[in-house]
Amino acid sequence: MPLFRYKALGEGGKDIRGAIDAESLQEAKVKLVRRQILVVEVSPLEEKKKKGGLSRSELLSFTRELARLLEAGLPLYESLSSLEEKYRRAKMHELLLDLCDQIRSGHPFSEALGRHGGSFDLLYRTMIANAEKSGGLPLALQELARLIERELKLKKQLIGALLYPALLSVFCITVLLVLLYGVVPSLFELFEGKDLHPFTQFVFASSRFAIRAKWGLLSLFALLIAGGIWMALSDLGKRWIGLFFIRIPGVKDLWAKVALARFFRGTATLLEGGLPALSAMGQAEKMLRHPGMEASMRSALQQIEEGETLQDALLGKPFIPPLVPRMLGIAQAGGDLASMMHQIASIYEEDLEKSFARITALIQPILLLVLGAMVGFVLLSVLLPLTDVSSFAV
């Protein structure tokens, strides 16, 4: 059933925006009138507008609430309708309307989710499709909620580890700009014609250059920001960023641990959902988001298809720690691969928590020392000429 976007007036003349499903534009207007909504404008909702992605926190809320409703015994369509009513004025309302429409039309839930690939990734859709076959949709949604929660927790830890250093770096740059553009230029006249210390000459020359080239520096700064945004949003840019970071000592190890934890947690969940090991690893390989490890995993999967064991295929591969193939070899022999993969993911998640704590503990004093050294250098360059009293004698 098509969707229509509407604009209406609420109490006190407040704008109300939302979407409604109807067979035609006229039916949409009738439905809105029955709801006693003062309609200002109704228009068809374009297909491309229905595919806006949900944030991970919104996806977590949707998954948890849908799982609870299904556990309570509500059918899937009734559960989605309840959520649609709850989030009528929220961002996910249009998505929920479309899901309700697809389920009512007889489409499988996984197929309906596939229309919104920006919100529901391949792992999410695959687990839902497997659950539909086995009848365990509430359990699958619970497991998905746990996966998303772990991902958000890891992301929060990363942001927490980098937030203070980032703010301190911004403060350092701000102090430097104030010194170069405000404090130092006010001293030019005082020291004009004096024989200055090399420190002072360097600081004064830097300030004069910054003042002369301020528009060029501003343009360069804007260009760097625009380039950073493009690289963060485009697939090619993300790949360049990935290839750059996997060459930086320390950073490449952290990134590899994040990718390994994500991959093995996803693979274990797919295995528990009934997928064969090779298919599960092939699906989860798309979750790595690590260029070097993706290549290693694709090569390993090809070797497994050719008849090699999982342990031999992963042994010696770049970015794959030796511990991983040994643990998987033991698990494959014991027939409990999913449990071992959960353990591997837990090991690297715990290791990441410790690494983030160490980074936060180390980088803060380092940045404080840098800030102190920077300000101290400028102050020293200004104070050195003042110690020469004879230079000010008339």
Say if residue 41 is in the same domain as residue 56. no
| In-domain check, residue 244 | no
Say if residue 258 is in the same domain as residue 347. yes
| In-domain check, residue 368 | no
Say if residue 308 is in the same domain as residue 331. yes
Say if residue 39 is in the same domain as residue 58. no
| In-domain check, residue 79 | yes
- Mean pLDDT across 218-234: 84
Whether pLDDT at 284 is above 70: yes
pTM of the model: 0.65
Say if residue 30 is in the same domain as residue 94. no
Say if residue 255 is in the same domain as residue 340. yes
Say if residue 34 is in the same domain as residue 90. no
Q: Please report, for the domain that includes residue 308, its CATH number.
A: 1.20.81.30
Say if residue 69 is in the same domain as residue 110. yes
| In-domain check, residue 201 | no
Cβ atoms 268, 341 nearer than 8 A: yes
Say if residue 60 is in the same domain as residue 127. yes
| In-domain check, residue 203 | no
Q: What is the 3-state secondary structure (H, E, C) of the chain?
A: CCEEEEEEECHHHCEEEEEEECCCHHHHHHHHHHCCCEEEEEEECCHHHHHCCCCHHHHHHHHHHHHHHHHCCCCHHHHHHHHHHHCCCCCCHHHHHHHHHHHHCCCCHHHHHHCCCCCCCHHHHHHHHHHHHHCCHHHHHHHHHHHHHHHHHHHHHHHHHHHHHHHHHHHHHHHHHHHHHHHHHHHCCCCCCCCCCHHHHHHHHHHHHHHHCHHHHHHHHHHHHHHHHHHHHCHHHHHHHHHHHCCCCCHHHHHHHHHHHHHHHHHHHHHHCCCCHHHHHHHHHHHCCCHHHHHHHHHHHHHHHCCCCHHHHHCCCCCCCCHHHHHHHHHHHHCCHHHHHHHHHHHHHHHHHHHHHHHHHHHHHHHHHHHHHHHHHHHHHHHHHHCCHHHHCC
The Cα–Cα gap between 267 and 247 comes to 26
Say if residue 276 is in the same domain as residue 317. yes
- The total number of structural domains that make up the chain: 3
From the list 312, 289, 288, the residue with the least C-alpha distance to 301 is 312
For 24, the domain range is 3-45
Say if residue 257 is in the same domain as residue 330. yes
Residue 393: is it exposed, middle or buried by C-beta count within 10 angstroms (0-12/13-18/19+)? exposed
Q: Please report, for the domain that includes residue 20, its CATH number.
A: 3.10.20
Whether pLDDT at 79 is above 50: yes
| In-domain check, residue 118 | yes
Q: pLDDT band for 47, please (50, 70, 90 cuts).
A: very low
Q: pLDDT band for 356, please (50, 70, 90 cuts).
A: confident
Whether pLDDT at 91 is above 80: no
Say if residue 102 is in the same domain as residue 18. no
Whether pLDDT at 1 is above 60: no
Instruction: Give pLDDT, residue 51.
Output: 47
Instruction: Give pLDDT, residue 40.
Output: 65
| In-domain check, residue 159 | no
- Mean pLDDT across 81-101: 83
In degrees, rounded to 5, the angle at the alpha carbon of residue 105 between the alpha carbons of residues 136 and 23 is: 145
Domain-ending residue, one of 130, 148, 166: 148
| In-domain check, residue 192 | no
pLDDT in tens, 54-75: 888 999 999 999 999 999 999 9
Q: Which two tokens stand for residue 208?
A: 């004069």
Instruction: Give pLDDT, residue 15.
Output: 66
Q: pLDDT band for 48, please (50, 70, 90 cuts).
A: very low
